[in-house]
Structure formats: C-alpha cells, structure tokens
Amino acid sequence: MALELLDTFAVPSVPIAGIEERFPVRRIFCVGRNYADHVAEMGGSMREPPFFFTKFAVAVVQNGARLQYPSGTANFHFEGELVVAIGKEGSHVRAGQAHELIFGYAVGLDMTRRDLQLAARDRGRPWDVGKNFEQSAPVGCVHRRSDVGAIERGVLELQVNGVVKQRADLAQMIWNTAEIIEHLSGFYRLTAGDLIFTGTPAGVGSVASGDRIDVRIDGLSPLSVSVE
C-alpha cells in the first residue's frame, strides 16, 4: 500500500530549452530583498548579508499556468525574478567557482500572500504561510548556461494586463548570483535540481482574479500566468 501511494507523486519539473528532457526540481531557495529599490519600498536597510527562505518543490508551476487565488489572503502579490538552476553538487563554494554549479537560468515569479507575510514579519515569526504555498513558484523554460553564458545583467520587466509594473537591470542586484551561491552553500550542500530565486526589484503589487502576469528577462524565454 505504501509503495502504491508513493507512485502517485510525480517529481515537479520544468522544461529545458532545446531538448526533450526536463529539469527535475528538488528544492527551492529564495533570496529576500536583493534590489536596493525593493529594500527601500519594504522598509529595510542596504547591503545586509543575504537571507533566504524556502518553498516546497510542489509550489512550482510552469509557463501558461492558471493560478488559483490562494485562500487566507486579500493581498496576493507578484515578484518577478531571475531563477538559477543548479546542476552540480557543492558546499562552501567560493564566488569565483560558483559558475561551475550553475546548469542554467529561467524567469520566475515569487507569488506572495503579502498580508500574511507582513503580519508574520511584524511578530518575528517565519514567513512560510505568506511565501510557501501551492502554485507560488511559477518558473519558465530553463536555458542552459552552456547555451546562453553567464547571465549577470539584462532587463527584467513584469507587466500586469499589459501595464509595466517592474523594470530593472539584473546588474542592480545587491548580491550577484555568484555571491548568492557562495553564501547559500555555506549553509546547505547544494545539489542538482535546486532552484534559487534571486530576488525582485521594486514595483511589487497585488493582482486579482482575471489578471494576467507577463515576465521577461533578456535572453530567456518569457513567463506568462493568469489568476483565476
């Protein structure tokens, strides 16, 4: 009976550009407050050491998904982000060697129950209920680093119903991808299948049922989801 039950669970995965194989998702790590303008709009101070929160792998949905408006919130927010896909194991990795762990990159969304996150933050409690829930991690097609090179700059733009809400250059990240991997790998042994959401710029805001969210990053396949 136990084995039959396990057989019902599929490993979450996202497509890889140019090949039929998919990228299986093991864990999701997210960087908080990694653009100065977003730090300011959320009331933080600059250049603090990076901090991380997590999402379940089953939070992943892919391009074209229809997101169910989540329960328990009246303030459902978008956060457009660059996602780094890890393809090799590493612990205590120096920034200069961090590129060796990167399999590729994708466009992502860190969907957030903002009211629940802020209530938890104000009480000094974990953010899980505000950040880690079903369909909270839309991820587009992964592009292999061997195909697109290292992505350290380029425009990230998010639109809601055709109106630009977020626009920034990846070069504006407080901590770049190599530095993120260096910090994160000091706490966790990173392995193939891990995804790292690298933070969002200013302009985050709420969406309602019927809205469409489109996110693009130069050189990567765009991501589009709708809210039901």
pLDDT digits (tens, 9 = 90+) for 93-113: 999 999 999 999 999 999 999
CATH no., domain 9-104+138-227:
3.90.850.10
pLDDT tens sequence across 153-212: 999 999 999 999 999 999 999 999 999 999 999 999 999 999 999 999 999 999 999 999
User: Of 71 and 4, which is predicted with more confidence?
Assistant: 71
pTM of structure? 0.93
**Residue ranges covered by each domain of the chain:** 9-104+138-227
pLDDT, tens digit, 9 for 90 and up, residues 31-58: 988 987 756 665 555 567 888 999 999 9
Which candidate, 71, 72, 65, 62, places its Cα nearest to that of 106? 62
Integer Cα distance of 195 and 216 in angstroms: 18
Distance CA 97, CA 93 (A): 6
